[in-house]
Amino acid sequence: MYGVPESTLRDRTRGNVALDCTMGPARLFNLEEEKRLADHIIHMGNIGYGYPVTEVLRVAAGYAKSLGKTIAKDQLSKPWFYSFLKKHEELKL
């Protein structure tokens, strides 16, 4: 009815895959951490220092490290940045 492959349903019902699993890589920041990062970027823009894309990536990497998170090689990239922008519509380029 919904086009879900039979193998997917079978894996879920047999417990081979957790019911609450998500697609794609794990999120680097939780919602609260992302909100704090977005608030920081907005604050800096309000005082006259708007970050370019590369600086947002550098600040986000530093923030992640300060939280004790490990960052994969490509985890903070331009695709991550544009995804971050979509989730935080209050941010502008």
Tens digits of residue pLDDT in 48-82: 999 999 999 999 999 999 999 988 877 899 999 99
Q: Which residue matches tokens 């490290």?
A: 65
Where in the chain are the domains? 24-87
- Which pLDDT belongs to residue 11? 87
Token digits of residue 19: 């019911």
Token digits of residue 70: 């490990």
Listed in sequence order, the residues at least 6 apart from 43 whose beta carbon sits closer than 8 Å to its beta carbon are none
pLDDT mean across residues, the chain: 89
pLDDT tens for each residue of 3-27 = 989 998 888 889 888 877 777 777 8
pTM, 2 dp: 0.73
Q: How many CA atoms lie within 13 A of 12 on its CB side?
A: 10
